[in-house]
């Protein structure tokens, strides 16, 4: 930069250190962040699984209470988000296992793998919920 | 000719003395979870909206119970490792970091044991 100044060239403003907000959001970066966020969400989501299992093991009234919550609008949104996070994190995990073998690091494959993760997770989640509504009659 | 002594080789575990243990366990549990996940989704589809008796009978089935316990156990081990990395990445105050790492283990242990207790209770018999 000093050299450019000395030559009288127009000075280009460049970031001095990398900060998240100056990066264009690339798909692999977004998928990396979403992988961690879904992992964190699943971590606390296990409380719901534990609650439901304990309710089922305690008796019909307790299971009915848990099922009432999961059947409510809020419960359904939470469950939908949980299944998407689960499937997304699982597909992201497959992507990471592929990368662990030191394959798929050329930019085209990286993009394909990352787009497959998000498209695959949304598709599978919608299919699963279509199955749930079909089998469970909306419960 | 190798210049390292055998002792140097067996001690080659890095400064934390854990080697690739964390990395390997994370991968091992991830593969196990990927194998178990289809069964878990299948079980969920089988009992969604079902009567209490059906839910208890399905979850109490030995194969389903064992798969559920495996899933819960592998899951809490995996999530404990993952949360450990998140804490180490973002919490730099020594006291808070150690406290959160302890809480992380407690959380995984409590959630895991509570869930497994529930599955075993269903499996070994519950008054319907």
What is chain A's alpha carbon radius of gyration, rounded to the nearest angstrom?
Answer: 23
Look at residues A72, A73, A51, A55 and name the one whose alpha carbon lies nearest to residue A64: A55
Integer CA distances (angstroms), A41 to A55, A59, B89, B109, in order: 22, 28, 17, 17
0.90 exceeded by the pTM? no
Which pLDDT value is given to residue A1? 46
Distance CA B126, CA B60 (A): 9
Structural domains in chain A, sorted by start: 26-136 (1.20.1300.10)
Distance CA B56, CA B96 (A): 42
Minimum-distance CB partner of B34 among A54, A94, A137: A94
Ranges of residues in chain B whose predicted pLDDT is under 50: none
**Is the Cβ–Cβ distance between A6 and A16 less than 8 Å?**
no
Q: What is the pLDDT along chain A (139 residues), one digit of tens a residue?
A: 455 555 666 777 776 666 667 778 899 999 999 999 999 999 999 999 999 999 999 999 999 999 999 999 999 999 999 999 999 999 999 999 999 999 999 999 999 999 999 999 999 999 999 988 887 654 4
Q: Which of B106, B65, B42 is nearest to A57 (CA)?
A: B65
Within an 8 Å CB–CB cutoff, is residue A37 touching chain B? no
Predicted complex ipTM: 0.87
From A78's Cα to the closest Cα of chain B, the distance in A is: 16
Set of chain A residues whose Cβ sits within 8 Å of the Cβ of B65: none
Which residues of chain B lie closer than 8 angstroms to A138, CB-CB? 49
Q: Where are the alpha helices (DSSP H) in chain B?
A: 6-10, 21-47, 52-60, 62-90, 94-124
A interface mutation test: which of B26, B27, B48 has the most A CBs within 10 A?
Answer: B48
Separation CA B74–CA B79 (nearest Å): 9
Task: Please check whether residue A93 is in contact with residue A100, taking contact to mean a CB–CB distance below 8 angstroms.
Answer: no
Residue A3's pLDDT is 55
The answer to whether the CB atoms of B122 and A40 lie below 8 A apart is no
Q: Which residues of B touch A40 (CB under 8 A)?
A: 82-83, 86
A43 vs B contacts (CB less than 8 Å): 79, 82-83, 107
Residue-range domains of chain B with CATH: 22-124 (1.20.1300.10)
For residues A130 and A63, what is the distance between their CA atoms, to the nearest angstrom? 23
Terminal CA-CA length for chain B: 71
Query: How many Cβ atoms from other residues are within 10 Å of residue A84's Cβ?
Result: 19
Instruction: Note whether A126 contacts B: Cβ–Cβ < 8 A.
Output: no
Predicted local distance difference test score (pLDDT) of residue A88: 98
């Amino acid at each position: 930069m000093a050299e450019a100044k000395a030559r009288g060239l127009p000075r280009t403003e460049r970031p001095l250190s990398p900060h998240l907000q100056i990066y264009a959001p690339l798909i692999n970066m977004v998928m990396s962040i979403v992988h961690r966020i879904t992992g964190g969400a699943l971590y606390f989501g296990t409380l719901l699984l534990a609650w439901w299992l304990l309710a089922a093991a305690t008796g019909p009234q307790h299971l009915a209470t848990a099922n009432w919550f999961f059947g409510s609008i809020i419960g359904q949104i939470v469950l939908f988000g949980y299944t998407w996070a689960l499937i997304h994190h699982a597909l992201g995990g497959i992507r990471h296992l592929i990368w662990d073998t030191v394959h798929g690091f050329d930019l085209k494959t990286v993009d394909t793998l990352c787009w497959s993760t998000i498209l695959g997770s949304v598709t599978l989640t919608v299919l699963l919920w279509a199955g749930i509504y079909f089998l469970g009659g909306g419960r | 000719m190798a210049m390292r002594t055998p002792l140097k080789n067996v001690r080659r575990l890095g400064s934390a003395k854990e080697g690739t243990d964390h990395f390997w366990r994370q991968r091992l549990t991830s593969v196990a979870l990927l194998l178990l996940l289809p069964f878990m989704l299948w079980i969920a589809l089988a009992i969604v909206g079902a009567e209490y008796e059906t839910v208890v009978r399905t979850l109490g089935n030995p194969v389903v119970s064992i798969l559920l316990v495996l899933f819960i156990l592998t899951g809490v081990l995996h999530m404990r490792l993952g949360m450990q990395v998140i804490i180490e990445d973002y919490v730099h105050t020594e006291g808070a970091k150690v406290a959160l790492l302890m809480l992380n283990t407690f959380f995984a242990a409590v959630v895991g044991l509570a869930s497994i207790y529930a599955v075993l209770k269903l499996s070994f018999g519950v008054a319907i």
